[in-house]
Amino acid sequence: MSRQLAVVGAAGAQAASMQDAIFRAIDPAHVTAIDVSWRAARAEALSSKGVEVRTIDGTGKALADAIRGSQAVVNLAGPYHRLGTLVLDAAILAGANYLDICDDVDVTRKILGRHSEAVEAGVTAITGLGSSPGTTNMLVRIAADYLGEPAETTADISWVVDQSDLSTAVVEHILHCFATIHDREPGPIPGWAELEPRWVDFPEPVGRELVVLLGPPEPLTLPRFLGLQSATNRGGIAPVEYTQLCWLLARARRLITQDDEPKTLGEGFDWFHSAFAKRLGRQGSGLVIQVRRGGRTIAFRSGSSMTMDHATGVPAAAGSLLLLEGRVPGPGVFPPECLDPVSFFGALRKVSPGGGGLSATICAAGEEPAPIRIRDLLCVAGH
């Protein structure tokens, strides 16, 4: 039978969180799960729910044929800086709407460059709908709408993830992000001072952590699609030693031959992680966003023990639900901030088990921050 939703890269951890979330809103029997290989237990668990599990080792026409007939395809196969636009191109070929959690600025630029092809095919593609980018874009959108005059508005995003959430793919992504700060094409890894390190006080259980400039897409898309004056994105890994280690490994790539790189860098990280992580407790993940216009600032703050997989997968599920319901712009290729905020947060409530701990405040220059409800910000954004 025809399935509503195809999930590519469905065997991964972030895909597991996304699928658990979307199953709160749609019948699993409407989902096709696709990957190049499967752990037997994961495949059996999905099959028992009615999901069609498929193994496909290919892209292009083979992948397009596999997703043809689906209303939408969710691309959770990374790392995006290696796979690029392959899954999006297959979705356009198959005529299926598309969503991903791409967090590499250089690939985001290429994905946005597929806009005319998507329009011609009648396809809507939403790129970067995870945590950061994704939820961050939507929060900046509702704050900017509330403050007005986006050309006079700036956004500063800071986030931190726990070292226990690191996987090979996450480490690979962070190493790549050091090479793409300031929205530039991948190049030499900048010195530590150029990363503009900053200590940020995140809500408990995270606490004070160091963040540095990295290369996610928000600094590219928020000025371009919302008209903001500027946007910055700083990230880190708690505890701080992991942020410093990843920067050092990224710098070391220049001294290692390509053939030796994966083994050498991987062994270096694994040695540190095995010696250091066993002494650590989980700090959790945190987010601080400040959106400013003139003397007024709207700030969002979150700290929780939520895993990165959950924080990324649940927003992707909300976006997937909007795709299936047809509540998206298009056709064409769009970042998350182009979605209707009221629709997005409504979908998020349907798929999320809760637990994010997000708070918002507003203040004018010289005044103490006062709480403001997300729903009040959404009322302005909805108009």
The pLDDT tens digits of the residues spanning 324-335 come to: 999 999 899 999
Torsion angle defined by CA atoms of residues 324, 219, 12 and 241, in that order, rounded to the nearest 10 degrees: -150
pLDDT for the residue 266: 66
pLDDT digits (tens, 9 = 90+) for 164-212: 888 888 888 898 999 998 877 788 899 999 999 999 999 999 999 999 9
Measured CA distances, 290 to 4, 153, 156 (Å): 38, 10, 5
Structure tokens at 176: 């790549």
pLDDT digits (tens, 9 = 90+) for 246-301: 999 888 876 665 655 556 666 777 777 777 766 677 788 999 999 999 999 999 99
pLDDT for the residue 249: 87
Rounded to the nearest 10 degrees, the angle between the axes of helix 374-381 and helix 135-147 is: 70
Q: In what order do the strands lie in the sheet with 52-55?
A: 52-55, 31-35, 5-8, 72-75, 97-100, 124-126, 332-334
Contact 17, 312 (CB under 8 A): yes
- Chain mean pLDDT for the chain: 91
pLDDT for the residue 282: 79
CA–centroid distance for 230 within its chain: 20
| Mean pLDDT score, 29-51 | 95
Ranges of beta strands (E only) in 90-184 are 97-100, 124-126, 153-162
| Mean pLDDT score, 133-154 | 96
pLDDT for the residue 357: 81
Stronger pLDDT, 78 or 343, i.e. the higher one: 343
Stronger pLDDT, 380 or 352, i.e. the higher one: 352
CA–centroid distance for 127 within its chain: 9
pLDDT for the residue 55: 92
Contact 12, 130 (CB under 8 A): no
Does 18 have pLDDT greater than 50? Answer: yes
pLDDT for the residue 325: 94
Residues 6+ positions from 81 with CB-CB distance below 8 Å: 104, 106, 107, 173, 176, 186
pLDDT for the residue 166: 85
Residues 43 and 35: their CA atoms lie apart, in Å, by 10
Residues 160 and 24: their CA atoms lie apart, in Å, by 28
pLDDT for the residue 1: 39
Backbone conformation region of residue 236, classed left if phi is above 0, alpha if psi is from -120 to 50, else beta: beta
Residues 95 and 93: their CA atoms lie apart, in Å, by 6
